[in-house]
Structure 1
């Protein structure tokens, strides 16, 4: 792992940073037990090296939206329908992490009884790192799957208008190794959060990630973020624009996630998730999520499943490498390596985030965790 990118970063102990996030959230009205869930989701992202979805999103995605009145600080979860292995929940425009935590726990309990379960959620909001929820199932020895729609970002194949969200389709699988298999990625080439990281670092976005309304590529990260918000740019789906690179595959998977995130719970979709009313004023993003849990014990047993899954992954990593590469990875391995790097050092904080942390500490009169760094 390249450590040069962290040369100018300060480092904060994870528990100290998590406590700072909890205090910040409670200061804007989030109940402490719910703030604990949100902070745990965010800190898990930072622990796993996914800097796009950790502390960097505390203020702009959550606190700012609470301040603007488009995100309810207290999450009230309503059960719309429940029947054996399935359930439909309503998040009532509260914090997506909280309703999703409840939904995945409910799916886990149902899978223990029925072998497989699915819980869907409507009227939710951004739920953080998608991989957090399959990790909950993995802790119970089970397979976890989740997906969510999001504000329009991806253009359909042969199109230039942002219609679909980045719509991650995420799988978590327990194995007999030190780390599980966790495939957590957007159905676009890359997600908005990575571009936000590039913008904070003053870096350009790769050439084939984003197109403007004329189908031309965009690379200025700050311009892209503004254009995505105004609808003047769109992310390319996995595989890129057109069909030659298989862009229709990413487009298809994004569409599946959109349907599952809306049609199974009578939720909003596509342009209804833009966060703007007819006058252009901000309104809530009523997102939908789904959570699927499979218990291997109902098939051939958890231990056998984990052994075979681990053998498959080891075989892939031990296969013949390109002469230009040092190793082959399997999904979840790099996140495990990031944790092994960060567990003693803490979370890296670039200068742009230092300013946000200072701002929040002054606003809420709480101790700045960076003061001694």
Structure 2
């Protein structure tokens, strides 16, 4: 049977939610996890989209995710909370942390939430966009398992720890910076290796620490931090706030979800929400943001550059296109999801868009 590869985003989310529910995940958790995956695909961050469904389910089935364990408060004060995710799905734990940070900010102007005992939580933009809808600034970060060496090292020690900052605007699109601290996502190197294609120099080093254009050698070595020593330092900051400070894993103690089946990941997150109105009136802030963005876009452009963009703008446009025309999945991913659906009695074909 020839499988479709273009899917309606809401029906694809329904498919993923149904699969997770059939696997024993409570409805609210299943909805949040499915929404997190599909929204990543909508924004073109396919490495964090429905392609992750399989590994999430495999860790669930292996007992390495506990979907019935509610996140619990370890400690709290006027402007902060420390949560234990109790090894539930990262997106569900992240949503609880987000809600807590926003509530804290509304009560006191700023809300900081640290998290230990979590799992891969998807994209930072998933949380930032929800904070923006509530007229809040959000900074969110997470650590990850080892894929990058320290500058001057040759062995993976630190994760490609992501950083996201979301800021609302008025008539203009919001500012949404969502970035890993590596030059490139490791997934791109995996694709190059599968195709037998070289990678650009500067993406990675081999296991002996030599720069390489060989994708397979890069996978056996390490990806490199963006901006050299500066990216490495930023990744350390994220690891310190998300891991060392919270009691979560850090550095070599964040377990790889694809390789370590004997231990929980113990990923850490750090959320900081800011209530804009505690600083200046919200309409005034949004007007200033609009002026800032328009002034930036009006700057002289380099030859061949049609438009100056702000962080998050391309992803927003991609999301609008994919909502209209569908999410196109690689055949391998569609086949994998189809197989998962057969296993749990849920039809992926129901989510397909007509040609």
Q: TM-score range by the shorter chain?
A: over 0.9
CA RMSD of aligned residues (A): 2.2
* 1: CA distance, partners of 2:246 / 2:50: 30
Does structure 2 retain, via aligned residues, the 8 Å contact 1:89–1:121? Answer: yes
Structure 2 counterpart of 1:213, from 197, 207, 220: 207
Structure 2 counterpart of 1:65, from 59, 69, 75: 59
* 2: CA distance, partners of 1:359 / 1:100: 28
* 2: CA distance, partners of 1:114 / 1:193: 40
What is the match of residue 253 of structure 1? 234
Q: 1:121 to 1:182 in 2, by over 3 A?
A: same
Q: 1:329 to 1:280 in 2, by over 3 A?
A: closer
Structure 2 counterpart of 1:168, from 162, 176, 191: 162
Does structure 1 retain, via aligned residues, the 8 Å contact 2:29–2:67? Answer: no
Structure 1 counterpart of 2:75, from 60, 63, 81: 81
Displacement of 1:196 in angstroms is 4.8
Does structure 2 retain, via aligned residues, the 8 Å contact 1:275–1:283? Answer: no
What is the match of residue 296 of structure 2? 316
Structure 2 counterpart of 1:117, from 106, 111, 117: 111
* 1: CA distance, partners of 2:194 / 2:177: 26
Residue 305 in structure 1 maps to residue 285 in structure 2 = yes
What is the match of residue 152 of structure 1? 146
* 2: CA distance, partners of 1:192 / 1:72: 27
Structure 2 counterpart of 1:99, from 93, 99, 105: 93
Displacement of 1:222 in angstroms is 5.7
Aligned length: 350
* 2: CA distance, partners of 1:197 / 1:337: 25
Residue 56 in structure 1 maps to residue 48 in structure 2 = no
Q: Cα deviations across residues 135-162 of structure 1 (Å, max 9, x unaligned)?
A: 1211110100100000011111111111
Structure 2 counterpart of 1:29, from 24, 29, 38: 24
* 2: CA distance, partners of 1:9 / 1:216: 42
Q: Which runs of 5+ in 1 are unaligned?
A: 1-7, 228-232, 240-246
Relative to the length of structure 2, the TM-score reads 0.92
Give 3-state SS (helix, strand or coil) of 1:177's partner. Answer: coil
Q: Cα deviations across residues 260-293 of structure 1 (Å, max 9, x unaligned)?
A: 01232222211111349xx976421100001000
Does structure 2 retain, via aligned residues, the 8 Å contact 1:9–1:350? Answer: no
Q: Cα deviations across residues 179-237 of structure 1 (Å, max 9, x unaligned)?
A: 21100001111223444555677755433211112222344556644x2xxxxx11111
Q: After superposing the two structures, state which structure 1 stretch, 173-182 or 190-199, moved more.
A: 190-199
Give 3-state SS (helix, strand or coil) of 1:184's partner. Answer: strand
* 1: CA distance, partners of 2:192 / 2:174: 28
Residue 267 in structure 1 maps to residue 248 in structure 2 = yes
Relative to the length of structure 1, the TM-score reads 0.88
Q: 1:201 to 1:97 in 2, by over 3 A?
A: farther
Q: After superposing the two structures, state which structure 1 stretch, 214-223 or 176-185, moved more.
A: 214-223
Does structure 1 retain, via aligned residues, the 8 Å contact 2:158–2:235? Answer: yes
Q: Cα deviations across residues 314-360 of structure 1 (Å, max 9, x unaligned)?
A: 22222111112222111011011102211211211111112111111
What is the match of residue 122 of structure 2? 128
Give 3-state SS (helix, strand or coil) of 2:179's partner. Answer: coil
